[in-house]
Amino acid sequence: MPALKVSDEHVERISSLMLNVNKPLKERFRALFTLKNIGSDKCISEIAKGFKDPSALLKHELAYCLGQMQNEKAVSVLVEVLEDDNQESIVRHEAGEAIGAIGSKDALALVRKYARHPLPEIAETCQLALDRINWLHDHGPEEELRANPYNSVDPAPSMREDDVDKLIEVLMNEEDSLFNRYRAMFSLRNMRTPQSIQGLCKGFSASSALFRHEIAFVLGQIADPVSIESLIATLKKGEEHSMVRHECAEALGAIATPECLKVLEEYRTDSERVVRESCDIALDMCEYGNSDQFQYADSLQKVES
């Protein structure tokens, strides 16, 4: 997607909103997603400035946005984050996923190295990134986007399979590769039926926290009330990995029913910072979802006014 024609001055003003630690996190998120949507090289350099922020959630989203922008100029920034032992694992994992999303073969050696990292969320992410980069260069991006109604850059392409039971079987088969199980996951997401959503919810019993976090993410993309019960139950598990609980909170924000709102209000004081902040962001998503606002990433209009 070509970059929007926005002046460097406006980009810098949006960036100043994103980087301002005295602003509410929800405003900073809207600024970040505005930069993502503008999509210029200047936006990449401004987003890169945010990796010194104290909020792991914000830094995680910075990496996510850089991956979704599909610009190879972001790879060097993401490599630096992935290699930084001082960054939180949730941030480093997202940097690895973003490198895979961009799909540059130049990053294969680094991704292969971190696929053996002692932290499972980093190792598994880089295993997926390695498989995705190789798959992408064998098949091409057009094949990957063939059946994706969300136009997101996913860690794995969907499968050419429309039997829900077979897909659920692959999803839950812990002897299969993570890449294949993710492919089944995205196929079930793309179907968007009650049966496929219920199948995805079974994924919360998987042994991999990374896998469970992606289950929550895709349920947030679908944003169907069928998944509310499973998302709430997982958010409420204090022993669950924070990266999973954070994605559950954001998924509930995307669904945005009164029941979701009530639970998010309850957990905005959670002991885990990334969960607290995710609930705040999710509540802003609820407000947006139940309003007549034209778009979520609205910071360009604010700096122009």
Q: Does 181 score more than 70 pLDDT? A: yes
Q: What is the mean pLDDT of residues 216-225?
A: 98
Query: Among 7-11, 165-169, 229-233, which is the least confidently predicted range?
Result: 7-11
Q: Does 190 score more than 60 pLDDT? A: yes
Instruction: Compute the residue count for the chain.
Output: 305
Q: What is the mean pLDDT of residues 208-227?
A: 98
Q: Does 276 score more than 90 pLDDT? A: yes
pLDDT digits (tens, 9 = 90+) for 59-69: 999 999 999 99
By C-alpha distance, which of 221, 285, 280 is closest to 257? 285
Q: What is the mean pLDDT of residues 281-291?
A: 82
What's the pLDDT at 143? 62
Summary mean pLDDT of the chain: 93
| C-beta of residue 268 within 8 angstroms of C-beta of residue 233 | no
Other CB atoms within a 10 A radius of the CB of residue 37 amount to 20
1-139 and 148-305 share one fold? yes
Other CB atoms within a 10 A radius of the CB of residue 145 amount to 16
First to last CA, the chain: 26
Q: Tell me the C-alpha distance between 270 and 20, whole Å.
A: 24
What's the pLDDT at 292? 60
What's the pLDDT at 287? 83
Question: What CATH number matches the domain at 1-139, 3.40.1190.10, 3.40.50.1370, 3.40.1440.60, 1.25.10.10?
Answer: 1.25.10.10
Q: Please give the residue that has the higher pLDDT: either 92 or 140.
A: 92
The two three-digit tokens of residue 130, written as one number? 């390695």
Taking the whole predicted model, whether its pTM rises above 0.85 is answered as yes
Query: Among 66-70, 215-219, 262-266, 284-288, which is the least confidently predicted range?
Result: 284-288
Q: Does 207 score more than 70 pLDDT? A: yes
| Domain spans in the chain, listed from the N-terminal domain onward | 1-139, 148-305
Q: Tell me the C-alpha distance between 37 and 35, whole Å.
A: 5
Other CB atoms within a 10 A radius of the CB of residue 221 amount to 18
DSSP state of 4: P
pLDDT band for position 294 (cuts 50, 70, 90): very low
| C-beta of residue 299 within 8 angstroms of C-beta of residue 266 | no
Alpha-carbon Rg of the chain, whole angstroms? 18
Other CB atoms within a 10 A radius of the CB of residue 149 amount to 12
pLDDT digits (tens, 9 = 90+) for 100-146: 999 999 999 999 999 999 999 999 999 999 999 999 888 876 666 56
Phi, psi (rounded to 5 degrees) for 148: -95, 105
Q: Tell me the C-alpha distance between 201 and 182, whole Å.
A: 14
Q: Which residues lie closer than 8 Å to 265 by C-beta, 6 or more apart?
A: 279, 283
CATH domain 148-305 topology: Leucine-rich Repeat Variant (1.25.10)
Q: What is the mean pLDDT of residues 150-164?
A: 93
Q: Please give the residue that has the higher pLDDT: either 136 or 239.
A: 239
Q: Which residues lie closer than 8 Å to 284 by C-beta, 6 or more apart?
A: 26, 29, 30, 253
Q: Does 304 score more than 60 pLDDT? A: no
Q: What is the mean pLDDT of residues 79-84?
A: 98
| C-beta of residue 122 within 8 angstroms of C-beta of residue 96 | yes
By C-alpha distance, which of 55, 32, 22 is closest to 298? 32
- The one-letter code for the residue type at 71 is N
pLDDT band for position 156 (cuts 50, 70, 90): very high
